[in-house]
Amino acid sequence: MKYQAPRGTQDLLPEDAPRWRYVEQMFRQTCADFGYEEVRTPVFESTDLFVRAVGEHTDIVSKEMYSVSAHGSEADERRERLTLRPEGTAPALRAYLQHNLGAKSPLTRLFYVAPNFRHERPQSGRLRQHHQTGIEALGSEDPALDAEVITLGLTYLRRVGITGARLEVNSVGCPECRPVYRERLRAALESRIGTMCENCRRRYDTNPLRILDCKAEDWSVLEAVVPDLADCLCEPCAQHFAHVQAVLQVLDVPYERNPRLVRGLDYYVRTSFEIVHPQLGAQSTVLGGGRYDGLMEELGGPPTPGIGFGCGIERVLLACEALEVAFPLEAVRPVFVVTLGEAARLPGLRLLNDLRQAGIAAQADYLGRSMKAQMRAANRVGARTVLLLGENELAAGAIAVKDMETGAQESCPLSDVVGRMRGRKDEG
């Protein structure tokens, strides 16, 4: 085969599409129930937006972005460089600022369904284009909003059919208290960092909190060595976290505190959460999010607290597969028009089009095949009813209506058949 989909990407084929549509529909429905409205932003943005929001020293910005120059190969100024979106929060916030959504309503609730692009190593099973559902709630630091965002995520996954998931929460503090923790963590690890993995040795200087979620370390030993973030939170952060937990309790949402739960990106503050499924092994995180109160200012906007989550559609589908979730997918059962002989061909096409115009799913054979082959095709597409049009029927101004389930066949005036099919459709 000469052409293949690029490495790390995959095609969505007709046989897969109904499951994707189902998952997306559950997400959209849940967002609507919680009052979140859709935002669609471009697939690419100014490179600088992501450098600013995500951080220059992150893996995403330093290694994983797909950037292009808007003017060809010249080394243009950075503001003229464009990047395929590696994550969804920065574009949503950019749109919020550009269109001054905060002026329309002090609390803005947004959701999106969009692809993300990262230059990952495909051998690790990661996709270079993956699809994300996400929400952002902007304009309030009320801990109840954190609980709302978390509840929306849980509701969505439950509606998809993922049961037995576990909610893990943590607080990663704020620019006031996190530096204190960072120094305590460095001090605690000082004598050990030399024996830790390469990533951790680098993170020790740049972003020691990320050491906490390193999968390469032996946490059965390290757990006792590292200090707990909770002991370092400033009073406002501690109170905020306590309130988030109190609201979750009122809403009967079970959770566990995971003291090593930190989000991958620097802009997160305070509430951090993940929904994990214990049966999914190494890829157990299905959904993750957190609060990013300083990000809007970082992007040049007014102080606007925010919280959100992202959730990969591929990850949700993998989880559903692993958990053997059966989707209640409804198959379209078309009417199939079978014609016999040349004379019936054009009236058959006319009937096919009339059915479709009336909103009735209808198909026909375009290969000029025998009646037997046409009937087989009708079976293959799951037709519930076959309309047979031959010379005899034409002469009588009628059509034979065959019920594919019972095998019963009756004659119907050609002029009535669309109405009759519509009636059957309404019966379901």
13, 75, 216, 395: which one binds Zn ion (CB under 5 A): 216
234, 322, 349, 412: which one binds Zn ion (CB under 5 A): 234
Q: 412 near 399, Cβ under 8 Å?
A: yes
139, 143, 173, 290: which one binds Zn ion (CB under 5 A): 173
DSSP letters along 95-126, please?
HHHHTTHHHH-SSEEEEEEEEEE----GGGT-
Pairing outcome for strands 362-364 and 385-389: unpaired
Minimum distance from residue 217 beta carbon to Zn ion (Å): 5
The residue behind tokens 């208290």 is: 177
Q: Which is nearer to Zn ion, 197 or 343 (CB)?
A: 197
Which range in 92-100, 234-242, 401-409, 415-423 contacts Zn ion by CB under 5 A? 234-242
**Applying CB under 5 A, does 217 fall inside the site for Zn ion?**
yes
- What is the C-alpha separation between 385 and 409, in angstroms, rounded? 10
Q: Which is nearer to Zn ion, 272 or 339 (CB)?
A: 272
Question: In this structure, what token pair is assigned to residue 246?
Answer: 């109190």
Q: Which is nearer to Zn ion, 290 or 348 (CB)?
A: 290
- Residue 404, SS3 per DSSP: coil
Minimum distance from residue 230 beta carbon to Zn ion (Å): 11
43-68 exposure pattern, b = at least 16 Cβ within 10 A, e = fewer: ebbbbbbbbbbbbeebbbbeebbebe
Minimum distance from residue 135 beta carbon to Zn ion (Å): 24
Segment (H or E) for 348: helix 342-357
177, 212, 375, 398: which one binds Zn ion (CB under 5 A): 177
**Applying CB under 5 A, does 294 fall inside the site for Zn ion?**
no
**Count of residues interacting with Zn ion (CB under 5 A):** 11
**Applying CB under 5 A, does 362 fall inside the site for Zn ion?**
no
Q: Give backbone dihedrals phi and psi of 173, rounded to 5 degrees, phi first.
A: 75, -160
DSSP letters along 119-130, please?
---GGGT--SEE
**Quick count: other Cβ atoms within 10 Å of Cβ 281?**
8
Q: 308 near 136, Cβ under 8 Å?
A: yes
Minimum distance from residue 172 beta carbon to Zn ion (Å): 9
**Applying CB under 5 A, does 322 fall inside the site for Zn ion?**
no
Segment (H or E) for 176: none
**Applying CB under 5 A, does 212 fall inside the site for Zn ion?**
no
Minimum distance from residue 215 beta carbon to Zn ion (Å): 8
Which range in 36-44, 147-155, 157-165, 189-197 contacts Zn ion by CB under 5 A? 189-197
Q: Give backbone dihedrals phi and psi of 294, rounded to 5 degrees, phi first.
A: -95, -5
Minimum distance from residue 237 beta carbon to Zn ion (Å): 3
198-220 exposure pattern, b = at least 16 Cβ within 10 A, e = fewer: eebeebbeebbbbbbbeeebeee
169, 237, 295, 320: which one binds Zn ion (CB under 5 A): 237
23, 51, 84, 200: which one binds Zn ion (CB under 5 A): 200
**Applying CB under 5 A, does 214 fall inside the site for Zn ion?**
yes
Q: Which is nearer to Zn ion, 169 or 174 (CB)?
A: 174
Q: Which is nearer to Zn ion, 22 or 267 (CB)?
A: 267
**Applying CB under 5 A, does 87 fall inside the site for Zn ion?**
no
Q: Which is nearer to Zn ion, 229 or 237 (CB)?
A: 237
176, 205, 321, 391: which one binds Zn ion (CB under 5 A): 176
DSSP letters along 9-38, please?
-----TTTHHHHHHHHHHHHHHHHHTT-EE
Minimum distance from residue 220 beta carbon to Zn ion (Å): 14
- Name 166's Cβ contacts closer than 8 Å, sequence gap at least 6: 254, 256, 275, 276, 277, 278
Q: Which is nearer to Zn ion, 65 or 177 (CB)?
A: 177
CA distances from 247 to 30, 69, 74, 241, 270 (A): 20, 47, 54, 10, 15
188, 197, 325, 343: which one binds Zn ion (CB under 5 A): 197
**Applying CB under 5 A, does 180 fall inside the site for Zn ion?**
no
- What is the C-alpha separation between 244 and 23, in angstroms, rounded? 28
**Applying CB under 5 A, does 351 fall inside the site for Zn ion?**
no
**Applying CB under 5 A, does 174 fall inside the site for Zn ion?**
yes
x/- mask, Zn ion, residues 133-172, rule CB under 5 A, reads ----------------------------------------
Which range in 55-63, 212-220, 279-287, 326-334 contacts Zn ion by CB under 5 A? 212-220
CA distances from 70 to 95, 116, 119, 128, 405 (A): 20, 20, 19, 21, 58
- Name 239's Cβ contacts closer than 8 Å, sequence gap at least 6: none
> Which residues contribute to the site for Zn ion (CB under 5 A)?
173-174, 176-177, 197, 200, 214, 216-217, 234, 237
